[in-house]
Amino acid sequence: MAGGRRQAPPREDVLAAAMEMIAERGLEKLTMAALGGEVGMSSGHLLYYFGSKDELLLRTLEWSEGRLGAERGRLLTRTAPALERLDAYVDLYVPDGHRDPHWTLWLEVWNRSQNADADARERQAAIEGAWHRDLVALLAEGISRGEFRRVDPDRFAARLRALLDGFSIHVAIGLRGTDRAQILRHVREFLADSLLADA
């Protein structure tokens, strides 16, 4: 309606714009004012919707994780050997490279979680839990089919994800000597040594 109040963009558009800004300009350039300029809202309006920058970042992470979760679901439910699907899981988990936007956001949310309230911590745990449950299910399937050694799927998943997190942080921050290809080779060697069933 002409002269009427301008409609705020859908929340998903705001979250997508935040993620795009992180990818293109880096997290340090993501301010409420800059994001507002991108989506045609004032920083005050954004604060009204999200309450704080911490909440905006966590919501953006949840939105990004929702997309990754859908992709992970497609990869893990296809008809393929468990090892091939595990390789796809690892490939999706590890950052694309230095300043990968998803991992940049994750690292910031983790850092801010030191002072987060119980609700924010629960929401972060839910994200972590989804990755963990999918990995446990895949490991259990591979064990039941004789593709993997008889390990405890939950314990092995916890250890593998800790390994992936450590390596992924190195890639995301651009630590010298830890590029993505090198990390994927390390992980594949670890899985061959510790998980693959003996022929």
The pLDDT, as a whole number, for residue 167 is 95
Tens-digit pLDDT profile for residues 64-92: 999 999 999 999 999 999 999 999 999 99
- Label residue 3 by pLDDT band (50, 70, 90): very low
Residues written for the chain: 199
Longest dimension (CA), the chain: 74
Per-residue pLDDT of 131-155, as tens digits, reads 999 999 999 999 999 999 999 999 9
The first and second tokens of residue 169, run together, are 């942080």
- At residue 140, φ and ψ (nearest 5 deg) are -60, -40
Q: Please list, in sequence order, all residues whose beta carbon lies within 8 angstroms of the beta carbon of residue 48, skipping any fewer than 6 positions away.
A: none
Structure pTM?
A: 0.87
Measured between alpha carbons, how far is 195 from 27 in angstroms, rounded to an integer? 37
